[in-house]
Amino acid sequence: MEKAAQDQARHYNLRRRPWRPKVRDTVWAKEHLLSKAAEGFAAKLAPRFDGPYTIKKFTSPVICVLEHETTKKEKTAHISDLKPGSADADGPGDFEE
């Protein structure tokens, strides 16, 4: 049983690369939207990420306070809900070289 658990852990972590954002990094934050039939809003058609945000500080090793780049609104997020990004990109992962 232990060997099976170790094998599964090895396969799970095979391509995982740890990412630790730093203060003042630009990131995109995952949105947690709900559908509203009365307003004709379908959450599955909405953008998954909002931003860009700048990391202001960390309240714990995995929880950070974010500040929106344009509205200056603050938000708290877990690092698993963040994606690295740049302020001039259209969305997470839109990097220009």
CATH number, position 71: 2.30.30.140
More confident residue, 94 or 22: 22
pLDDT at 83 over 50: yes
Q: Is residue 58 part of a domain?
A: yes
pLDDT-derived band at 16 (thresholds 50, 70, 90) equals confident
- What tokens were used for 26? 């630009």
pLDDT at 88 over 90: no
pLDDT at 81: 94
Q: Is residue 6 part of a domain?
A: no
Q: Is residue 28 part of a domain?
A: yes
Range of the domain at 38: 21-84
pLDDT at 97: 44
If residue 28 lies in a helix (H) or strand (E), which one and from where to where? strand 26-30
- As a whole number of angstroms, the distance between CA 63 and CA 65 comes to 7
Q: Is residue 55 part of a domain?
A: yes
Q: Is residue 93 part of a domain?
A: no
Q: Is residue 65 part of a domain?
A: yes
Q: Is residue 53 part of a domain?
A: yes
More confident residue, 80 or 97: 80
pTM over 0.85: no
Domains held by the chain: number? 1
